[in-house]
Amino acid sequence: MRELLLLRHAEAMSAGPDTRDIERPLSVHGERQARAAGTWLAGQAAPDALLCSPARRAQMTFDALARSLPVRPPLFLPGIYEATPGDLLTLLETHAGAARQVLLIGHNPGLEQLLALLTEGRSAGARGLAPATLAWVEFAGDAFEPGGGRLRALWSP
């Protein structure tokens, strides 16, 4: 059995006129959300692979999460930023192929579409993931197959 934890980055600050989207930091509220996600996951999860977007808000989400959840440093993969569900599946296969429990920190709409694809077999069923929402998906087999996942938990701060 394999598990995939999809975590949308926590709430970010709005981009200023001189700030690129990828550089936006977490808001104060977002920092609290990310810490709460770490607290919720502590004792429940032990990811053996962690993939993270290089966007500042995703990195800051990981940093806050890691205060409560003992995890090794993630792989920061530029392909997660603005990824499609297909891109994300490819990244999972390439960088977390042997992992039993994977934590992926990224962005919408890619994450919400990936969740729909894995649990419903189609990405058009995306319902939305609010900032800092975590979806925990279980798979009976060894592959992250479209339609092959079962939603174990959906948590939001």
pLDDT tens profile 70-119? 888 899 999 999 999 999 999 999 999 889 999 999 999 999 999 999 99
pLDDT at 117: 95
- The rounded mean pLDDT for the chain is 94
Residue 127 has pLDDT above 80, yes or no: no
> Taking residues 123-131, what's their average pLDDT?
82
pTM of the model: 0.95
2-8 and 101-106 beta bridge pairing: parallel
Q: Which two tokens stand for residue 74?
A: 């993630």
> Taking residues 51-72, what's their average pLDDT?
94
pLDDT at 128: 83
pLDDT band at 43, cuts 50/70/90? confident
Cβ(74)–Cβ(52) under 8 Å? yes
All structural domains of the chain, each given as residue ranges with its CATH number in brackets, are: 2-10+22-155 (3.40.50.1240)
Sheet with 49-52, side-by-side order of all strands: 75-76, 49-52, 101-106, 2-8, 134-139, 149-155
Lowest pLDDT segment from 20-24, 42-46, 78-82, 126-130: 126-130
